[in-house]
Every structure is written in structure tokens, then in C-alpha cells.
Structure 1
Amino acid sequence: MVSFALTLLRFFRALRRAWRDSLFRSSFYLLLIILFSGTMFYATVEGFRYLDAFYFSVVTLTTLGYGGLHPETDAGKIFTVFYLFTGMGIAITVVTRLGRAMYHEPVRKHRDH
């Protein structure tokens, strides 16, 4: 139990460090928007319960794909393809920046070219 508490504490400290990074913050907000839009789409178009729609959105973006839920409409299948390509990169950015903060790597300033 102590180990879990220390891990959780380390996670929240890393989250606080990562939050200072503008790329992390913007990617995190974008990820929330993508998860919300995926949840709303699957609940509306596929008829999933909201919890199932959120679960499916997360499982899809993390590419776990347990297979219990899946889109059955053509619109759902097409949306899922675009949802994966759009959301996966953003989810990877959030996780990578958070991982760097956990190991105290210096955050490189994001430059617009």
C-alpha cells in the first residue's frame, strides 16, 4: 500500500511539472476535447451508453481494442478511422511529455517554425 501511495505521489508531482509545459497543456486540453467528442459520437450514433462510449473512446485511442464494443454503423466505422489517426498522436504526446516529467528530463521549448 505504501508503494502505491508513493507511486501516486510521484505521478502527481510529475503532472505538476508537466503542466508548466505549454505543449503538454495544449495537448492535454485537445485530448479532453477529442475524448468528449468521441464519447458523444459513439453515444449518439452507435447508441452506446455514455460510460461505454467513453470507455470505447479511451480503448480506441490507446489502441488496446478489447473487442467487446465496436461500431456497427458505416458512419461509426469511418469516424473511428479518423478518430484513431487524429487522437492517437495527441494521446502519445500527452503520455510522452508526462513520462519526461516523471524522470525529470528538461522540457525543451516548443518552437514554431
Structure 2
Amino acid sequence: MKQTSPFVILITSLVVIVSSATVFFHYLEGWSWIDSYFFTVVTLSTVGYGNLVPETEIGKVAASILIFTGIGIFALTIQSFASLTVKRRLRKSREHKRKLAQSKKSKDTGPS
């Protein structure tokens, strides 16, 4: 059985959190879909413009929970993406160096 990559798990978790929070704030606070999504993304990314603030008590509690759970998942996803990008670049660099070395070796041992 193929193992699911941690990055895929993090992305899936982030999508679930953003979707759930967007739906939650849309219905609970009565915000538009765009405002609910915007609030969720701004909160998760720790930007916090402050132009949208939950007014209900349950909305404030939910925002607090979103901050503590979502920010961790958001940060791990960004870190995982950066790590994958660096690993991919290092692998390509090693492949490039290996090909250059092979090319140089074939020129050195080629016909005279």
C-alpha cells in the first residue's frame, strides 16, 4: 500500500480547516462567503487586518480555536513546501553536476 506524503496530509488538513472556518463564519456571523474566506485566511496567515471581527461569543471562541490550531497547520504546510522545494533543487543540482562530470570525462577519454 502506498504511503501518503506528509505534505499531502498537511494540504488536505489546511483545505479542510479553511473550508470549515469559512462556512462556519458565513453562517454564524452572517458574513458573505468572500468576507468569511478572507477572515479565515487573514487569521491563519497572522496578518490580522482587524476589519472583520467576530461579534458573537461563539464566533470569538471559534476564532481563538482557529488561531491555535490553524496557524500550526498553516506554518507546517509552508515549512513542508519550502523543504520539498529545497530538496528538489538540490537533487537537480546534483544531477546537473553529475552530467557535467560525465560530459567532461567523455571529452577527456574521447577520440584523439
Which TM-score band (shorter chain)?
0.7 to 0.9
Structure 2 match to 1:110: none
Query: What is the aligned residue count?
Result: 87
Structure 1 match to 2:12: 29
Partner of 1:63, secondary structure, is coil
Shift of 1:100: 1.3
What is the alpha-carbon distance in structure 1 between the residues aligned to residue 5 and residue 87 of structure 2?
Answer: 16
- One-letter amino acid of the counterpart of residue 102, structure 1: T
Structure 1 match to 2:55: 72
What is the alpha-carbon distance in structure 2 between the residues aligned to residue 94 and residue 58 of structure 1?
Answer: 14
| CA-to-aligned-CA distance 1:24-44 (integer Å, 9 cap, x gap) | 100100100000010001100
What is the alpha-carbon distance in structure 1 between the residues aligned to residue 63 and residue 19 of structure 2?
Answer: 14
What is the alpha-carbon distance in structure 2 between the residues aligned to residue 86 and residue 61 of structure 1?
Answer: 9
Structure 2 match to 1:39: 22
- One-letter amino acid of the counterpart of residue 88, structure 1: I
Shift of 1:47: 0.7
What is the alpha-carbon distance in structure 2 between the residues aligned to residue 55 and residue 104 of structure 1?
Answer: 32
Corresponding residue to 1:83 among 66, 72, 80: 66
Q: Which runs of 5+ in 2 are unaligned?
A: 91-112
What is the alpha-carbon distance in structure 1 between the residues aligned to residue 86 and residue 10 of structure 2?
Answer: 19
TM-score with structure 2 length normalisation? 0.72
- One-letter amino acid of the counterpart of residue 94, structure 1: T
What is the alpha-carbon distance in structure 2 between the residues aligned to residue 48 and residue 64 of structure 1?
Answer: 19
- One-letter amino acid of the counterpart of residue 47, structure 1: G
What is the alpha-carbon distance in structure 2 between the residues aligned to residue 22 and residue 102 of structure 1?
Answer: 14
Q: Which runs of 5+ in 1 are unaligned?
A: 1-19, 107-113
Shift of 1:83: 1.0
What's the % identity of the aligned pairs?
Answer: 34
Structure 2 match to 1:95: 78
Larger proportion of helix? 2
Shift of 1:51: 0.7
